[in-house]
């Protein structure tokens, strides 16, 4: 069994949006070609926490009356027998923290593997985290990924390359940091923190902030009628206030043994100020040290271990009761 992803040019051709037609076609074909090459690179460098490509090609198809393309290009990728992480979380107990922290650790490993090769995912969200019964969680869908130093990527010039719902604040306000680590890698880290919030609280970081942010301060995408009047710099104090208030209000949803560590991790990953994203031990010591993703991996492994211990203790208490 495998997963097949096809290049759907018919939907691009039929799109009646205002974007230039040739630009739309070019972006779609370039993005698909880039995704193929990136998947092949990930397989070649043995990125264990990235979904593996198994093959690619194109095939002649029987056209329906409203179809335009006689051939369809495709990618064949390994199939996640557990589906994406959303279905797994729906199936497991809300108290199964060991599994959640294990998935998060796997995803952080995947982000690190991409970053080590100069690749930024740019579209990290629950539907792109695939679960395998043996390999754990893997990061999938490199369709919006960008490569450091390669300016011809289909989405490299886009301020928001991925899903707007998970975009970090600086992107929503149209702020484009100059350095790659700030513009792309810290955006990945923000999306990871949002994934963590989703698995543990049931809401994304953006939802958490939006609930408490004055509409007049918010980005246009969140508040079409009232927002859009503030710059990222002007809005930052309000974004930070909403972020920290939202986090603290959800502290009680966590077990006491995990609360401080989880709040700290989400803060380090998804701080509204992109310059403050990264492991706290290395912030301010120079971008050459990276973001300290290995420290997050260790912290998540420790939380996974703690969760297993707590589950054992709880089982013993239940047995005695």
Give the per-residue pLDDT at 39. Answer: 95
Q: What residues are paired with 311 via a beta bridge?
A: none
pTM of the model: 0.92
Q: How many domains does the chain have?
A: 2
Q: Is residue 70 located within the same domain as residue 92?
A: no
| Domain limit, last residue, from 57, 79, 101 | 79
Token duo for residue 51: 């979904």
Please report the pLDDT score of residue 63 as a whole number.
64
* pLDDT higher than threshold 90 for residue 321: no
CATH code at position 171: 1.10.510.10
Domain that holds residue 38: 1-79
Highest mean pLDDT of the ranges 7-21, 79-93, 226-240, 280-294: 226-240
Q: How far apart are CA 107 and CA 140, in angstroms?
A: 10
List Cβ neighbours of 174 (8 Å cut-off, separation of 6 or more).
Answer: 159, 232
Residue that is last in its domain, among 30, 64, 79: 79
Length, in residues, of the chain: 321
User: 299 to each of 10, 78, 265, 320, how far by Cα in Å?
Assistant: 46, 29, 8, 32
Q: Mean of the pLDDT values across residues 308-318?
A: 90
**72 and 112, same domain (yes or no):** no
Quick one: 146 and 188 in the same domain?
A: yes
The answer on 186 and 289 residing in a single domain is yes
Residue that is last in its domain, among 61, 79, 97: 79
47 DSSP β-pair partners: none
Instruction: Say whether both 87 and 226 belong to one domain.
Output: yes
Q: Are 7 and 89 found together in one domain?
A: no
Separation between Cα atoms, residue 297 and residue 92, nearest integer Å: 22
* SS percent in the chain: helix, strand, coil, step 5: 50, 10, 35
Residue 68 sits in the same domain as residue 89:
no
Whether the CB-CB separation of 102 and 302 falls below 8 Å is answered with no
CB 42 within 8 A of CB 52: yes
């Amino acid at each position: 069994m495998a997963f097949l992803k096809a290049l759907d040019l018919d939907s691009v051709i039929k799109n009646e949006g205002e974007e230039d037609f040739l630009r739309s076609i070019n972006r779609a074909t370039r993005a698909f070609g880039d995704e193929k090459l990136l998947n092949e690179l990930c397989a070649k460098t043995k990125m264990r926490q990235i979904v593996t490509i198994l093959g690619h090609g194109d095939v002649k198809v029987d056209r329906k009356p409203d179809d335009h393309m006689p051939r369809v290009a495709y990618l064949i990728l390994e199939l996640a027998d557990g589906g994406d992480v959303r279905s797994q979380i729906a199936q497991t107990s809300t108290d199964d923290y060991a599994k959640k922290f294990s998935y998060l650790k796997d995803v952080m490993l995947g982000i690190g593997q991409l970053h080590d090769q100069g690749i930024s995912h740019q579209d990290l969200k629950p539907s792109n985290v695939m679960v395998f019964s043996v390999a754990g969680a893997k990061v999938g869908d490199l369709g919006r990924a960008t490569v450091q130093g390669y300016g011809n990527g289909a989405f490299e010039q886009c301020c928001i390359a991925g899903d707007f719902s998970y975009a970090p604040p600086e992107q929503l306000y149209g702020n484009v940091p100059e350095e790659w680590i700030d513009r792309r890698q810290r955006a990945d880290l923000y999306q990871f923190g949002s994934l963590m919030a989703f698995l543990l609280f049931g809401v994304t970081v953006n939802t958490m902030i939006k609930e408490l942010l004055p509409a007049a301060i918010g980005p246009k995408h969140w508040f079409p009628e009232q927002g859009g009047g503030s710059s990222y710099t002007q809005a930052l104090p309000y974004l930070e206030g909403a972020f920290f208030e939202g986090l603290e209000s959800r502290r009680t949803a966590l077990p006491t043994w995990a609360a401080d560590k989880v709040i700290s991790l989400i803060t380090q990953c998804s701080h509204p100020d992109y310059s403050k994203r990264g492991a706290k031990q290395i912030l301010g010591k120079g971008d050459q040290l990276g973001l300290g993703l290995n420290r997050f991996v260790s912290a998540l492994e420790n939380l996974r271990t703690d969760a297993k211990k707590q589950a054992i203790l709880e089982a013993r208490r239940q047995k005695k009761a």
